[in-house]
Structure 1
Amino acid sequence: MTDSTTRRRLRSGTVVLGGVGLLAATLSACDSDPDKRCVDRDSYTSGKGYKVVDDKYCKDGSTSGHTGWYYGGSKSGSRMKSGSFSKSSGGGSGVSRGGFGGKGGSGG
């Protein structure tokens, strides 16, 4: 192998490893449930849905029992509808996550 071939291979390996690191950092920074919103459970209006509130009100340890995570559904302005408070039945828009070591399977 020539010296220039070796340098080219090293550079391409650096690019690949750098890209993998960037991807890992991006994925870990993202929320694990992109289809969930924190809503005020007492704000339901027929035809409009629940009012979306700041995520801090749904975090663990919150003192308010009037908020909750709302999965799936559709957002219109500051309201969510057609979803569910249950992660497994998010109005048809829920995401099933298996991943490494997950309990995945194929239905049929």
Structure 2
Amino acid sequence: ALTITSCGSEPDRRCADRTTQKTLPSSECRSGGNGSYYYGGKSDSGKVQGGSFDKSAVDRGGFGCSGSGGG
């Protein structure tokens, strides 16, 4: 399994439905689709959890970062 930790850079993001929390194809987050980017957290059984749709909440290092991140 590949694990990417990106403290001080762009948080990990995936496309998901804000209402159902289900993961969606990334195309749904572009070009006016139904999806929104979900930052941090993980995808489990087709649903996102442990992160936030608010990028700024994840940028502050609240997810998966210990110590001081770059910035």
In the superposition, the TM-score normalised over structure 1's length comes to 0.43
Determine if contact 1:38/1:70 at 8 Å carries over to the other structure. yes
Percent of aligned pairs with the same residue? 41
- 1:93 alignment partner, one of 63, 66, 69: 63
CA distance in 2, matches of 1:78, 1:70: 13
Over aligned residues, Cα RMSD in angstroms?
2.7
Q: Deviation of residue 94 (structure 1)? A: 6.8
Q: 1:42-73 CA distances to partner (integer Å, 9 max, x unpaired)?
A: 21xxxxxx1000001112xx233x31000011
Asked whether the 8 Å contact 2:11–2:40 carries over to 1, the reply is no
Q: Does residue 1:40 correspond to 2:17, yes or no?
A: yes
Deviation of 1:33 after TM superposition, in Å, equals 4.0
Q: How many residues align?
A: 58
Structure 2: 5+ residue stretches without partners:
1-8
Alignment equivalent of 2:45, drawn from 77, 81, 85: 77
Unaligned runs of 5+ in 1: 1-31, 44-49, 99-103
User: Structure 1 residue 85: deviation in Å?
Assistant: 1.1
Q: Give 1 or 2 for the bigger CA radius of gyration.
A: 1
* Alignment TM-score, normalising by the size of structure 2: 0.61
- Specify which structure has the bigger relative contact order, considering alpha-carbon pairs within 8 angstroms and separated by 6 or more residues: 2
**Equivalent residue in structure 2 for 1:54, among 25, 50, 53:** 25
User: Would you tell me which structure has more helix in proportion to its own residues?
Assistant: 1
